[in-house]
Chain A
Amino acid sequence: MIRLQLFLTFFKIGLFTFGGGYAMIPLIKSEVLAHGWAEAEDIINYIAISESTPGPLAVNMATFIGRTTGGIPGALCATLGVVLPSFLIIFIIAGAYNRYRKSRIIQGVMAGLKPAVVGMIAAALISLGMEVFIYDKHPGTLSSIISVIIFAVMIILSFRKKSPVMIILISGVAGIITGYTTGL
């Protein structure tokens, strides 16, 4: 039963994921929290792990959540679910892709979807930011201040074209150092 649910939920997520992985975070978050498959903090951890391993974010998240909730069969169902919509849609339109791309209907839909993608990423940033800066399991003002400092430094580094894997590595080391020094 949980496997069918995993498949259907991630099918839905795959169907509505446009413009790369981050835009689907609000959707994943609400679905996963509604089913009680993970906590908000776990979701950020899974994003971090998905970003530091190869492969698309959507696939990695599906495999991870599927595996922790339904074992290896769960991972299989969730991954199949998230991939299947793209597979079917591309398969159907592959022959007529120029007509598809130039149709006014698709262009109109895309004119609405592209800003929605930006809006979804903004929503992900705000809701995860509240999680990290305010509700994190390391409570207290000092902890929040340290999170803000790490965040600010990583912003600067990421705009200097450091790769995501590097950012995650450096922030992990920063977390370990500050964690042991402050003893929080």
Chain B
Amino acid sequence: MDLFLSFFKIGLFTFGGGYAMIPLIEKEAVENKKWLSGEELLDIIAIAESTPGPIAVNAATFIGKKIKGFAGALCATAGVVLPSFIIILIVSFFWEKFKELRVVRYAFWGIRAGVLALIAKALVSMFMKSSKDLLSYFLMGASAVAVIVFDINAIIVILCCALIGLVYTIR
């Protein structure tokens, strides 16, 4: 229950993706509840990055399991997901009601351009963080071209990149 409430709180106050949530988790799980050390939190973030899924969900499952096994993992994950779920349900009802309004159409006309800017910013910061070698640059370009120009399914592209990285590393 404690896990559920803590992660409900974390889920409720996480705007704009997983990395924004790390300070919140640190305060709640490390400082307040002492569920884990700062070192362990860094490990969890590293592992969350190398497994699929949102970092928030991964971290919640991991910490939940560590504290109370399967039930803990379930409570923490449900807690972190539930606030978004409820809020989006409410918003989606309003959206269907008001999306045809002129003022809403205009607002989203501007917002679509704003979202593009957010994605561009994310692209630049991910690019800065990635390794600067030929293989890495090649895979970035090739995967973007494969999806955009040749319309290849993103899953196939991702699997191919993983395979190339694997062969290149262990050869």
Q: Please list the residues of chain A having a beta carbon within 8 angstroms of any beta carbon in chain B.
A: 12, 14-22, 24-27, 30, 41, 44-45, 47-60, 63-64, 67-68, 72, 75, 79, 82-83, 85-87, 89-91, 93-94, 97-98, 100-101, 104-129, 131-132, 136, 138, 143, 147-148, 150-151, 154-155, 157-159, 163-165, 167-168, 170-176, 178-180
Is B37 engaged at the interface, CB distance under 8 Å to the other chain? no
Q: State A176–B101 Cα separation when bound (angstroms).
A: 12
With A30-B153, A116-B158 as known contacts, state yes or no: A56 contacts B119, CB within 8 Å: no
Q: State A147–B162 Cα separation when bound (angstroms).
A: 36
Q: Per a CB cutoff under 8 Å, which of B11, B17, B83, B136 touches A21?
A: B17
Q: A21 — which chain B residues lie within 8 A by C-beta?
A: 17, 54
With A108-B167, A120-B147, A154-B113 as known contacts, state yes or no: A159 contacts B51, CB within 8 Å: no
Q: State A55–B137 Cα separation when bound (angstroms).
A: 31
Q: A167 — which chain B residues lie within 8 A by C-beta?
A: 114, 117-118
**B19, B114, B130: most-surrounded residue (chain A CB, <10 A):** B114
Is B58 engaged at the interface, CB distance under 8 Å to the other chain? yes
Contact with A along B37-53 (1 / 0, CB 8 A): 00000010011111111
Kindly provide the distance from the CB of A44 to the nearest chain B CB, expressed in whole angstroms.
Answer: 5
Q: B154 — which chain A residues lie within 8 A by C-beta?
A: 16, 24, 26-27, 30, 120, 123
Q: Per a CB cutoff under 8 Å, which of B16, B119, B142 touches A125?
A: B119
Q: Is the CB of A126 within 8 A of B148?
A: yes
Kindly provide the distance from the CB of B170 to the nearest chain A CB, expressed in whole angstroms.
Answer: 5
Q: Please list the residues of chain B having a beta carbon within 8 angstroms of any beta carbon in chain A.
A: 11-19, 43, 46-58, 61-62, 65-66, 70, 73, 77, 80-81, 83-85, 87-89, 91-92, 95-96, 99, 102-103, 105-123, 126-127, 130-131, 135-144, 146-148, 153-155, 157-158, 161-170
Q: B17 — which chain A residues lie within 8 A by C-beta?
A: 20-21, 56-57
Q: Is the CB of B52 within 8 A of A14?
A: yes
